[in-house]
Structure 1
Amino acid sequence: MQSNNPVFRNSDEFNGKSTNAYGNQVTGGASYPGYGQSDPSTWGTGTPGSPTHTDAATGPMTVDSVVQKTGVTLVVLLVAAFATWVMTPTIANTMTQAQLNQLYGAMTIGGLGAFGLSMVNSFKRVISPALVLAFAALEGVALGAFSKFFEYQYGGGIVIQAVIGTFAAFAGTLAAYKFFDIKVSSKFRMGVIAAMFGMVGLMMLQLVVGLFGGDLGISGLTGIGFVFSLLGLVLGIFMLILDFDFVENGVRAGLPERESWRAAFALTVSLVWIYTNLLRILAVMRR
């Protein structure tokens, strides 16, 4: 179950590498002697027939555990977003530059912090629940300010529409994945991950160019920006399909429950990706 997704690629459990009750390495269902276990006197007794990939203290990952961890992560994100919305300047017909700078500051601090933690969580072999929740809190700060800025600019409940659209996309993608029994091929997985990194690279390039007064047009609310956001929305839905596939395979393989946090992190990233692109699409349509 080797993955090209950086969120799952660095997890030994998601890639079928673990140790069984006898201290042996398990790879793809086969058992190989583990290092330091060649001396019979050092062999552990273990419990014959105990399941591999699981943690006896917490049990295996289940769909319920993934739902619970994802729910906790999203609650932290939403609370942080709501707090940022309340603590930043009240939306009025006109806002001063100083008030707008507060929103920009929250977006910058939250966004950079969330991006840094997303890289740590993506490449961390042993997932840390604390870092996942810290990512959610910082992402919530950025999204709270980002959403308030769009509500100020375009009004009319644009944020509520984007939130509803995001959960509709999630529900629709999950239904399609289950009812149509979608199978994720290696080529599809590689294509989605490559497209995601390509899009992130373009956004980083836009940021660098913007520091020198340039503009690629991909972040603006123009025709090019609309197409870029539409592609981002489609890519976000494909990312959800990858997430569902890994959760399904992980539950089937009996991974430790702690891996539910890795799945929760991946699902949160996909939902945030969909939400921000939906918000931009709605803004362009209102213009």
Structure 2
Amino acid sequence: MRSTNPLLSEKAFENRGYSSYSRDLMTIDGTVNKVGMLLLLTAGMALFSWMMFGGTGLVQLWMIVGAIGGFITAMVTVFQKHLSGITAPIYALFEGVFLGCFSGYMETIYPGIAFQAVCLTFFVLFSLLLVYKARIINVTQNFRLGVFAATAAIGLYYLFSFTVSFFGVTVPFIHDSGLMGIGFSVVVVVVASLNLVLDFDFIEKGSQSNLPKYMEWYGAFGLMVTLIWLYVELIRLLAKLRSNK
């Protein structure tokens, strides 16, 4: 099984050869439980960060700390999958700091936006899970390649925007609240949502491939990365829609 999700790739399936009778194998139920744990860690730390820093001048500093810490921990997790049981919870805590500060900051500008984004995120998650289980969307190789190409293009565009911002240059669409900017955000939300389907596919195929138990943490980590990305993009989209009124 191949996955073109940048985090959930074919290399994750290299550790085969485990006995199908071993208890130390990846399962769907085990992965779901670990997703729940990571969600609780992220939500708890987000709430704590929001209450501590949301209305202070430190909100942007801690937002950066959370983002950088989360990125570093994510890279360690990707390249050291056997450490996922340690790094995935740490990633969730760092991202909780980032999301709490980010949500608190956006809430001061657009009251109620965080709750709306949370509701939409879980609506998309459960809707696509039902669609996936009903096999309405078939995860073919072309589907994987298409989602990967779109994800990579968005990532490169964001990286380019971040780089040129140091020279005072603003890249269009990302921050624009006009029709083109809103359209761009809609496309990004759709691509982020489709990555959830790849996450579901990885978890299902991984549980059928006799992967070691720690891959439950890795699968849960991959799903969390997508959910956090989707949540952030939904807040961006909602903010643009409000600004455009």
Residues 98-144 of structure 1: CA deviation (Å, up to 9, x unaligned): x44x1211111111221222222223342421111111111111111
TM-score by length of 1: 0.78
CA distance in 2, matches of 1:127, 1:191: 30
How far is the alpha carbon of 1:241 from its aligned partner?
0.5
1:6-43 deviation per Cα after TM superposition (whole angstroms, max 9, x unaligned): 3233645x24x4235xxxxxxxxxxxxxxxxxxxxxxx
Larger radius of gyration: 1
Distance 2:5 2:135 in 1: 23
Contact 2:45/2:97 (<8 A) preserved? yes
Equivalent residue in structure 2 for 1:191, among 118, 137, 146: 146
Pick closer, same or farther for the CA change 1:185–1:89 going to 2, 3 Å.
Answer: closer
Tell whether the 8 Å contact from 2:5 to 2:195 is kept in structure 1 after alignment: no
Unaligned 5+ segments in structure 2 are none
- Is the partner of 2:211 in helix, strand or coil? coil
Is 1:75 the equivalent of 2:40?
yes
Match of 1:59 in 2: 24
Is 1:4 aligned to 2:4, yes or no?
yes
Picking from 66, 89, 92, the partner of 1:133 is: 89
* C-alpha contact 1:166 1:274 (8 A) present in aligned 2: yes
* Percentage of identical aligned residues: 34
Query: What is the rounded CA distance, in whole Å, between the counterparts of 1:10 and 1:139 in structure 2?
Result: 26
Q: Which of 186, 194, 201 matches 1:230?
A: 186
| Paired amino acid for 2:225 | V
Closer, same or farther in 2 for the Cα pair 1:73/1:19, shift >3 Å?
A: same
Distance 1:226 1:138 in 2: 29
Corresponding residue pairs, total: 242
Measured after TM superposition, the shift of residue 253 of structure 1 is 2.1
* Structure 1 residue 181, shift from structure 2 partner: 4.5
Residue 81 of structure 1 and its aligned partner are, at CA, apart by 0.7
| Conserved? CA contact 2:54–2:104, under 8 Å | no
In 2, Cα distance between equivalents of 1:257 and 1:218: 42
In 2, the alpha carbon distance for the partners of 1:77 and 1:234 equals 23
Match for residue 226 of structure 2? 270
Match of 2:50 among 85, 88, 100: 85
SS at match of 1:7: coil
1:286 deviates by: 1.2
How is 1:243-262 mapped onto 2 (pairs within 5 angstroms)?
Answer: 243-262=199-218
- 1:146-175 CA-to-partner distances (Å, cap 9, x unmatched) read 1111100111x1110100000000010001
Alpha-carbon spacing, 1:207–1:194, altered in 2? closer, same or farther (3 Å):
same
Contact kept? 2:84, 2:215, Cα under 8 Å: no
Instruction: Indicate yes or no: 2:118 matched with 1:144.
Output: no
Look up the equivalent residue of 1:249 and give its one-letter code.
Answer: K
C-alpha contact (below 8 Å) 1:113/1:138 kept by paired residues: yes
2:2/2:10 contact within 8 Å kept? no
Q: Deviation per CA, 1:28-59, whole angstroms, max 9, x where unpaired?
A: xxxxxxxxxxxxxxxxxxxxxx42xx7x4x43
**AA at the equivalent of 1:240:** L
**1:238 match: secondary structure:** helix
Match of 2:161 among 194, 203, 206: 206
Q: Is the 8 A contact 1:6 1:123 kept in 2?
A: no
Moved over 3 A (4+): none
Q: What is the CA–CA distance in structure 1 between the aligned matches of 2:237 and 2:110, rounded to whole Å?
A: 12
**Higher relative contact order at CA 8 Å, sep ≥6: structure 1 or structure 2?**
2
Q: Is residue 98 of structure 2 the alignment partner of residue 124 of structure 1?
A: no
Secondary structure of 2:16's match?
strand
2:233 aligned with 1:280: no
Letter in 2 for 1:218: F
After superposition, give the CA deviation of every residue in 1:165-219 in whole Å (9 maximum; x if it has no partner).
0000001000111123432111211221222122112112111211221110333
AA aligned to 2:31 is V
